[in-house]
Structure formats: C-alpha cells, structure tokens
Amino acid sequence: MAGDELTIKKLNTAAGNGSADEDHPKGWSDMGNQKQHTLTKSAKQTTQTKKSKLLSNPDIKRWHDNLARSSKNTAEVRLRRLSHFCEIHQMTPMELAELGMKDLRAVTDLLHDHISWMEEQENAPQYIKSTMTAAKSWLSHFDVRITRRLKIANVDSTPTLENERVPDATEMAETFSRCDLFTGAAISLISKSGLRPETLGDVDGTDGLMIKDLPDIVIQQGIARPLMMPPRVIVRKTLSKAGHQYMTFATTGGTKRLLAYLNDRLVRGESLNADSPVLAPDTIYDKQRGANADKPFLPTQRILRKIRETLRPRFDWRPYVFRSYFDTQLLIAEARGKIAHDFRVFFMGHKGSIEAKYTTNKGVLPDELLNEMREAFKRSEVFLDLELREEDPLIKRKDQMQKAIAMATPEQLGQMQEMFQKLGIGNIVQANSNA
C-alpha cells in the first residue's frame, strides 16, 4: 500500500516549478528524460518530432486515428492537449492510462487537481475544458470512465472573445487594401461566402476546396470567368464540419478577388483542372513545408498564419472573425427581410431545422429552390460587400440620401417630396427603398 501511495504522489507532482511549456526557462518541458530519439534512414539520422514520437506508440495511434475519422482537427488538438498534460505531470500517456486502470480514484484526483492548477494559472475556461476532454478521451480508450463531476468555473466564458467585434465597412476596405491576391481570395471566401478556414485546406493539407467546387466558374481560353452571378460554392461532405454537403455563394466583391487570384495563377503558367485546389501553395510556401511538401493543399494553420500576417499589426482580430462577419451581416439582411432564416443557416453550413432535412439539405436542390436562394443571396450582397460601398461614390450618395430622409423633419420631407416629383423620381418611400 505504501508503494502505491508513493507512486501516486510522484504522478501528481508537477514538472519543475509546475509551469507550462511556454513558461519553461529553456523553452521546452521535461517530459520523461528528454532523450533524443532518432530514426536511421540510409545512414542519415533524422530527429523525430514530438507528434511522430507519440504516434509511434500503437495505442496512441489507434486512439488518434479513431478521433480523426470524425474530425482530423479534433484528433490533432486532443493529441496536443494530452501530450502537454502528461509533460506537466512528468509521465507518459501510457503511464496515465495504467494509473487509470489501476486506481480510478487516483487518476480522478489527478484530473481534479490539474483543473485547480490551470485555474491558478488563469488559463481560459474553454482551454481547461479542452484539456480535460482530451485526458478523459484517452482514458476512455482503455475503458476507464471518469464518473465524478469535475466542474470548471465559468466554463462558458470566453475571455479572449468578450471584446471582439466584426469589422465595419472602413475596416473591411482597409483589410483588403493590405492583402495580396492569395490572402484577398482567402478572406473573401470566409467573409463573403461564410466558409470555415478548414474548408479551404484541411488540417494536414490532404483535402480542400477545389475548382470543381465552383460549378459556376469556368476556365475558357486560359481565363477564369463566371457563368452566372452570384456563383455557387459547393462544400463537400469531406470538408463539412457537420458532415453534410451544402452550398453557399460568392458576392460580387468576393468573386472579383477570387477571379483575380485564379487568373494570376493561369497567366503564370499554372494548369488548372477540376481537381486543382482553389487556394494552392505557391512560391511563398516552397520552403519549410516539411511533411506537407508533396501535398497539393495548404494546411489550415498555414492559411490562417497568412491571414494573421496580413492583419498585423494594424488589426488584432482572429481570422475566424471574418466568418462571424458573414453571419452578422446576413442576420442584418434577415432582419431587413432580404433573406429567409433557413437560407442563412444553410449558407453557414449548419443543418438547421427539421424541415431543412427535407428541403435544403438534399444533395441536389430543385431548380426553383436554387434560384430562390440565389436571388436571396443577391439581395443580401449589399450587407456583405460593405467595402464596395466605401469605394463607390454613387452608393455613398445613396447612403447620404437615405440618412437625410431618416433624419428629416416633416417640413423637410415635404420639400424633398416636391423635389423628387419634379425630377420624376417618385415618392420618398420609393427613393428610400431604392437606396
């Protein structure tokens, strides 16, 4: 019994001063003995990465692969969380599993104490929850079920997002003025079509949005052109977080940026076909692609990094704020009666209501419904292409007129009405509606 108590005490002892990897004075954590493992290939030694070392264990690989069948991103995140948890407690994932199978109470106490430690470190509640989810998932792989309710304070709180807001028209215009063609196309697909970044290129660069997913854009005589506006963007099941195929559209501004990027690639001699990636690695990514060197798509993190580099230091937004922008602007369009609620939900990639399962979530939509969705999206473009309103003097004058009508006194409205009638514009209601 004394030996068991000694083992548990050791496992509950944090590494060094109990700091996380990024706080370690040497920049790395003391996992195990920190031995450098190498693989010999044709007399050439290559240092293993932390991930490859973990996945060399068949149990860890089996657990990781099982998670990846639902979501590659989930599998990657949980592997990182589990690794970090074990490093802090100077143990391997297998030692954690063995402790769980040997003493359920001891491993539950370990998780409990880790929550308290992370709260003392002022880690975000969602980060703590993510760590616990990873540890519990790993233990569950060995049929170890944590039955105690481990509570996390303010678990629904998101401190880093509390003051986040979506960009306004001026900020969107400035953002696109800072972009190169690649980043402009990427931000447009997220902010103007509502795509998740993972749709553009998945976590390991093996899949992503392809030219064939843009059925209304064709390449004729070496030039990419739209067949109709707004063009459709198809999100295949393999790219959909919810696991269903859905469709959205690209706005006028988004289409222009996307075509500029595709045509630039064509002019530079790249041959594009149906299976070509919409966002492809170019000379910027020729170096240091590592394990992704032979993959046609850019991994999600590379795309996000490019967007962040474009935004900084002017803006400190997360790249995902552009998808929030799409949702917010369509919500305004819905409130103005421009688009149906189910359409907005569908364009966001959500499965929606029960009725949607029998209508919008079908693989092939009826032409009548497709046309109605296209028209609804077209009516909503004015809320999505805000930066075009900043650039177009005619739209600016319309906005000014609309504000003048809204702020006018009854006497001023009468004078304006007389002027409109003399100019043959119609009445104020019609002018305000057209604006």
Is the pLDDT reported for residue 164 higher than 90? no
Residue 204: per-residue pLDDT: 85
Residue 146: per-residue pLDDT: 95
pLDDT digit string, tens, across residues 112-153: 999 999 999 999 999 999 999 999 999 999 999 999 999 999
Average pLDDT, the chain: 82
Residue 6: per-residue pLDDT: 36
The C-alpha atoms of residue 413 and residue 432 are separated, in whole angstroms, by 12
pLDDT digit string, tens, across residues 335-345: 999 999 999 99
3-state secondary structure the chain: CHHHHHHHHHHCCCCCCCCCHHHCCCCCCCCCCCCCCEEEECCEEEECCHHHHHHCCHHHHHHHHHHHCCCHHHHHHHHHHHHHHHHHCCCCHHHHHHHHHHCHHHHHHHHHHHHHHHHHCCCCHHHHHHHHHHHHHHHHCCCCCCCCCCCCCCCCCCHHHCCCCCCCHHHHHHHHHCCCHHHHHHHHHHHCCCCCHHHHCCCCCCCCCEHHHCCCEEEECCEEEECCCCCEEEECHHHCCCCCCEEEECCHHHHHHHHHHHHHHHHCCCCCCCCCECCCCCHHHCCCCHHHCCCCCCCHHHHHHHHHHHHCCCCCCCCCHHHHHHHHHHHHHHHCCCCCHHHHHHHCCCCCCCHHHHCCCCCCCCHHHHHHHHHHHHHHHHHHCHHHHHHCHHHHHHHHHHHHHHHCCHHHHHHHHHHHHHHCCCCHHHHHHHC
Residue 425: per-residue pLDDT: 55
Work out the average pLDDT over 248-276: 93
Q: Which residue has the higher pLDDT, 138 or 17?
A: 138
Is the pLDDT reported for residue 22 higher than 60? no
Is the pLDDT reported for residue 30 higher than 50? no
Q: Which residue has the higher pLDDT, 168 or 285?
A: 168
Is the pLDDT reported for residue 266 higher than 80? yes
- At residue 287 the predicted structure's pLDDT band, cuts being 50, 70 and 90, is very low
Q: Which of 240-249, 281-290, 391-400 has the highest mean pLDDT?
A: 240-249
- At residue 430 the predicted structure's pLDDT band, cuts being 50, 70 and 90, is very low
Residue 242: per-residue pLDDT: 81
- At residue 360 the predicted structure's pLDDT band, cuts being 50, 70 and 90, is low
- At residue 13 the predicted structure's pLDDT band, cuts being 50, 70 and 90, is very low
Is the pLDDT reported for residue 409 higher than 70? yes
Is the pLDDT reported for residue 10 higher than 50? no
What's the predicted TM-score (pTM) here?
Answer: 0.71
Least confident of 129-133, 305-309, 429-433: 429-433
- At residue 413 the predicted structure's pLDDT band, cuts being 50, 70 and 90, is confident
The C-alpha atoms of residue 231 and residue 405 are separated, in whole angstroms, by 35
